Chain A
Amino acid sequence: MSTIIRTQGITKIYGANGAAVHALRGIDFAVEKGEFVALIGPSGSGKSTLMAILGCLDSPSAGSYELDGHPVHGLSGGELARIRNGKIGFVFQSYNLLPKASILRNVELPMLYAGLGRRDRRDRALALLEKVGIADKADKLPAALSGGQKQRVAVARALANEPALLLADEPTGALDSRTGAEVLDLFRELHGQGHTLLLVTHDPSIAAQAERRVEIRDGLIASAEGAA
Chain B
Amino acid sequence: MTSSGAFRERLIEAWTEIRENLGRATLQALGVLLGVASVLGGFSISDSQRQRAEQMYVKMGGLDKLNVQPRATVQEGQPTALQQADLGLRDEDAEDGAVLRPQAIQGVSSQKNARTRVVSPYADQDRSISGIGGDYIPANGYEVETGRGFSSQEMEAGSPVAILGTEAAAAFFPKGDALGQPLRIGDVPVTVIGTFRERVFRFRKDQHNQFGWRNRIIAVPASLVQRRMNGDAYRRVDRITFRIPDLNVMAAFSKQLQNVLRANHRMQDDFRMDDVAARIRRQNSQGDVYDIVFLLSGVLALVGGGIVNVNIQMASLKERVREVGVKMALGASGREIFKGFMTEALLLTALGSLAGLVLGVGFSWIITHSLGIPLAMTPASFIWAYALAAAFGFLFALYPAWKASRLSPMEALRYE
> Footprint of B on A, CB under 8 Å?
52, 55, 57-58, 77-78, 81-82, 84-86, 90, 92, 96-98, 100-101, 109-110, 112-118, 121, 157, 161
A-B contact list, 7 entries, CB within 8 Å = A57-B328, A57-B413, A81-B336, A84-B328, A92-B413, A100-B17, A100-B20
> Footprint of A on B, CB under 8 Å?
1-6, 9, 13, 16-17, 20, 322-323, 325-336, 408-410, 413
Are the C-beta atoms of B329 and A84 separated by less than 8 Å? yes
Are the C-beta atoms of B329 and A90 separated by less than 8 Å? yes
Are the C-beta atoms of B329 and A112 separated by less than 8 Å? no
Are the C-beta atoms of A86 and B20 separated by less than 8 Å? no
How near does chain B come to A221, taking the closest CB pair, in angstroms? 21
Are the C-beta atoms of A58 and B323 separated by less than 8 Å? no
Are the C-beta atoms of A82 and B5 separated by less than 8 Å? no
Are the C-beta atoms of B2 and A115 separated by less than 8 Å? yes
Chain A residues contacting B1 (CB-CB under 8 Å) are 112-113, 115
Chain B residues contacting A85 (CB-CB under 8 Å) are 330-332
Are the C-beta atoms of A78 and B334 separated by less than 8 Å? yes
How near does chain A come to B19, taking the closest CB pair, in angstroms? 9
Are the C-beta atoms of B333 and A77 separated by less than 8 Å? yes
For B326, give its contact among A77, A98, A117 (CB under 8 Å): A98
Chain B residues contacting A112 (CB-CB under 8 Å) are 1, 4, 6, 9
Nearest CB in chain B to that of A51: its residue: B410
Chain B residues contacting A115 (CB-CB under 8 Å) are 1-4, 6
CA distance A98 to B325 in the complex (A): 11
Are the C-beta atoms of A55 and B4 separated by less than 8 Å? no
Chain A residues contacting B3 (CB-CB under 8 Å) are 115, 117
Contacts A98-B323, A112-B9, A115-B3 given; indicate if A52 touches B410 (C-beta within 8 A). Answer: yes
How near does chain B come to A127, taking the closest CB pair, in angstroms? 18
Nearest CB in chain B to that of A157: its residue: B330
Chain A residues contacting B413 (CB-CB under 8 Å) are 57, 92, 96
For B334, give its contact among A52, A77, A90 (CB under 8 Å): A77
Chain A residues contacting B323 (CB-CB under 8 Å) are 98
CA distance A116 to B331 in the complex (A): 13
CA distance A119 to B410 in the complex (A): 32
Nearest CB in chain B to that of A116: its residue: B4
How near does chain A come to B129, taking the closest CB pair, in angstroms? 83
For A57, give its contact among B20, B334, B409 (CB under 8 Å): B409
Nearest CB in chain A to that of B323: its residue: A98
**Residue of A77, A110, A116 with highest tally of chain B CB at under 10 A:** A77
CA distance A52 to B334 in the complex (A): 17
Are the C-beta atoms of B335 and A78 separated by less than 8 Å? yes
Are the C-beta atoms of B329 and A113 separated by less than 8 Å? no
Are the C-beta atoms of A82 and B16 separated by less than 8 Å? no
Told that A77-B334, A85-B332, A113-B331 touch, could you supply 5 new A-B pairs with CB distance under 8 A? Answer: A58-B408, A78-B333, A78-B334, A84-B331, A98-B326
CA distance A113 to B16 in the complex (A): 18
CA distance A121 to B5 in the complex (A): 11
Are the C-beta atoms of A58 and B331 separated by less than 8 Å? no
How near does chain A come to B24, taking the closest CB pair, in angstroms? 13
Contacts A98-B323, A113-B1 given; indicate if A57 touches B330 (C-beta within 8 A). Answer: no
How near does chain B come to A14, taking the closest CB pair, in angstroms? 11
For A96, give its contact among B2, B329, B331, B336 (CB under 8 Å): B329
CA distance A166 to B32 in the complex (A): 46
Are the C-beta atoms of A118 and B4 separated by less than 8 Å? yes
Chain B residues contacting A81 (CB-CB under 8 Å) are 328, 331-334, 336, 409
How near does chain B come to A41, taking the closest CB pair, in angstroms? 17
CA distance A35 to B410 in the complex (A): 25
CA distance A81 to B410 in the complex (A): 12
Contacts A78-B334, A98-B323 given; indicate if A57 touches B329 (C-beta within 8 A). Answer: yes
Chain B residues contacting A109 (CB-CB under 8 Å) are 327, 330
Chain A residues contacting B5 (CB-CB under 8 Å) are 117-118
Are the C-beta atoms of A113 and B336 separated by less than 8 Å? yes
The 9 closest A-B CB pairs, nearest first, are A85-B331, A81-B333, A113-B331, A57-B410, A96-B326, A110-B330, A58-B410, A57-B409, A78-B333
How near does chain A come to B387, taking the closest CB pair, in angstroms? 31
Chain A residues contacting B333 (CB-CB under 8 Å) are 77-78, 81-82, 113
CA distance A57 to B324 in the complex (A): 13
Contacts A57-B410, A112-B4 given; indicate if A96 touches B322 (C-beta within 8 A). Answer: yes
Nearest CB in chain B to that of A111: its residue: B4
How near does chain B come to A55, taking the closest CB pair, in angstroms? 7
Chain B residues contacting A86 (CB-CB under 8 Å) are 331
Chain B residues contacting A117 (CB-CB under 8 Å) are 3-5
CA distance A57 to B332 in the complex (A): 12
How near does chain A come to B20, taking the closest CB pair, in angstroms? 5
Chain A residues contacting B325 (CB-CB under 8 Å) are 96
Chain B residues contacting A97 (CB-CB under 8 Å) are 326
Are the C-beta atoms of A113 and B332 separated by less than 8 Å? yes
